Amino acid sequence: MEKLLFETIKIKDGQVYNIDWHNQRCNRTRKELFNKINLLNLKDFIDAPPKGLFRCRIVYREDILSIDYIPYSPKTIQTLKIVQSNLDYSHKYNDRTELNKLIHPNYDEIIIEKNNLLTDTSIANIAFYDGKEWLTPKIPLLQGTVREKLLHQNLLRVKNIKSSEIIHFSHFALMNAMIGFQIQKSINIKI
| Residue at which a domain ends, from 18, 52, 71 | 71
Residues 152, 165, 167, CA angle at the centre, nearest 5°? Answer: 105
Q: Are residues 182 and 160 in the same domain?
A: yes
CATH number at residue 50: 3.30.470.10
| Residue at which a domain ends, from 15, 43, 71 | 71
Q: Are residues 84 and 58 in the same domain?
A: no
Q: Are residues 95 and 156 in the same domain?
A: yes
Consecutive 10-residue averages of pLDDT for the chain (191 residues): 89 98 98 96 97 98 97 91 94 94 93 97 96 96 97 97 94 96 84 72
What domain range includes position 23? 5-71
pLDDT of residue 56: 98
Q: Are residues 58 and 89 in the same domain?
A: no
pLDDT of residue 53: 98
Burial of 92 (0-12, 13-18, 19+ CB in 10 A): buried
Q: Are residues 60 and 84 in the same domain?
A: no
pLDDT of residue 95: 93
Q: Are residues 55 and 138 in the same domain?
A: no
pLDDT of residue 76: 86
Dihedral angle over CA of 21, 24, 26, 31, nearest 10: -170
Q: Are residues 118 and 33 in the same domain?
A: no
Q: Are residues 169 and 124 in the same domain?
A: yes
Q: Are residues 59 and 147 in the same domain?
A: no
pLDDT of residue 187: 74
Q: Are residues 113 and 185 in the same domain?
A: yes
Q: What is the pLDDT of residues 86-118, one digit of tens each?
A: 999 999 999 999 999 999 899 999 999 999 999
Q: Are residues 149 and 55 in the same domain?
A: no
pTM: 0.93
